[in-house]
Amino acid sequence: MTEISRARLQYMVGGLLYTPAVTEGVAEKIENGAFRCLTSIAFCLEDSIRDEALEKAEQELLKTLGEMKRLSKSPLVFIRIRTPEHLLHIHGLFKEYYDVITGYVLPKFDLSNCSEYSKIITEINLNCSKPVYIMPILESRMIADTLSRAETLGKIKDCLDKIKDYVLNVRVGGNDLSNLYGLRRSTDCTIYDMGAVRDILIDIINVFVPEYVVSGAVWEYFGENENEPWALGLKKELALDRLNGFIGKTAIHPSQLPLIYESMKVNKTDYEDALKILGWKSDTLGVEKSADGTRMNEEKCHGKWALKTAMLGEIYGLKE
């Protein structure tokens, strides 16, 4: 398979489906198309697995990865580990599946462990024929602390900048951050309605989005009917995610995937404008009417937006 550049791959994560690593039959379900709109999957060895069942989960995941190696088409595959030491252990244990594993999800990533993670992922990549990526999750008390948050986020970014080629997404732990304040949103509220958590997310956006793809917080409600409150609430939050700069979202149930995928699509007019901006022709003017003649495009002001919009349009398609 042709290696995909990080610049494109970071947008291909999309809806990241979480599943406990002990789950059986995942590869067969993927092969049979049971998960509509599946772009990436994370096998969790952290909070979803009890400590005494960790070894069993690791052995089950070995079996699953072996089955996924035989798939005709596989999603991006990630493993959520526990600690830097666990990352070393897992990468050694699963060495025969390097070609299947896209990378690792690093929970509770902060100043207490970022340097160690950075060192380990650098060493791993020195000995691999293709890049092994990380997706750190910002979700700990250290991230939330309003008195030191700006300094903490800045130092974490400095650490990630040194290994930027291996950082695929920066993720946020919406439930962990909410739990710090004893909060839990209902289906008719979005995470942006909870002021304390919203402020943390916006600070993360301010620090990381100029250079990284940052994914939206998990939505914990699911079902089968897309006209029910769970789906309407998810659609509302996805719209606010995009408006605020988040791209993609963690999914905890397959029923969420089609809604997340649909939210990644690009309006046709936006896509046409993006292409015009990226292929700017005028040697004189830096402004021009949009494709449908309803707004103004500026080459300098809308350059980053155009790059992101064009990439998402190519990957997920267009909507009217």
Per-residue pLDDT tens for 106-123?
999 999 999 999 999 999
Q: Which segment of 1-15, 63-77, 243-257 scores lowest on mean pLDDT?
A: 1-15
Q: Which two tokens stand for residue 149?
A: 């948050």
Checking if the pLDDT of 291 tops 80, the result is no
Q: Give the pLDDT confidence score for residue 280 in this predicted structure.
A: 78
Mean pLDDT, residues 53-72:
94
- Strand 40-44 with 76-80, pairing: parallel
Question: Which phi and psi angles does 134 have, rounded to 5°?
Answer: -125, 155
Write the CA distances from 252 to 26, 206, 232, integer angstroms. Answer: 14, 26, 16
CA distance 76 to 13: 7
Checking if the pLDDT of 268 tops 70, the result is yes
- With bands split at pLDDT 50, 70 and 90, how would you rate the model's confidence at 3? confident
- With bands split at pLDDT 50, 70 and 90, how would you rate the model's confidence at 285? low
CA distance 279 to 292: 17
Instruction: Classify domain 6-264 at the CATH topology level.
Output: TIM Barrel (3.20.20)
Percent of the chain with pLDDT over 90: 87
CA distance 290 to 277: 10
208-250 pLDDT, tens digit per residue, is 999 999 999 999 999 999 999 999 999 999 999 999 999 999 9
Residue 207: alpha-carbon gap to chain centroid: 16
- Classified as helix, coil or strand, 65 is helix
Q: Give the pLDDT confidence score for residue 272 in this predicted structure.
A: 93
Contact 316, 264 (CB under 8 A): yes
Q: Give the pLDDT confidence score for residue 235 in this predicted structure.
A: 98
Q: Give the pLDDT confidence score for residue 2 in this predicted structure.
A: 60
CB atoms near residue 316 (< 10 Å): 19
Percent of the chain with pLDDT over 70: 98
CA distance 204 to 64: 34
Q: Give the pLDDT confidence score for residue 1 in this predicted structure.
A: 47
Mean pLDDT, residues 84-98:
94
- With bands split at pLDDT 50, 70 and 90, how would you rate the model's confidence at 283? low
Listed by start position, the domains of the chain span 6-264, 268-319
Q: Which segment of 20-34, 164-178, 291-305 scores lowest on mean pLDDT?
A: 291-305
Mean pLDDT, residues 195-218:
97
- pLDDT averaged over the chain? 94
Which residues have C-beta within 8 Å of that of residue 297, sequence separation ≥ 6?
A: 273, 276, 277, 287, 288, 289, 290
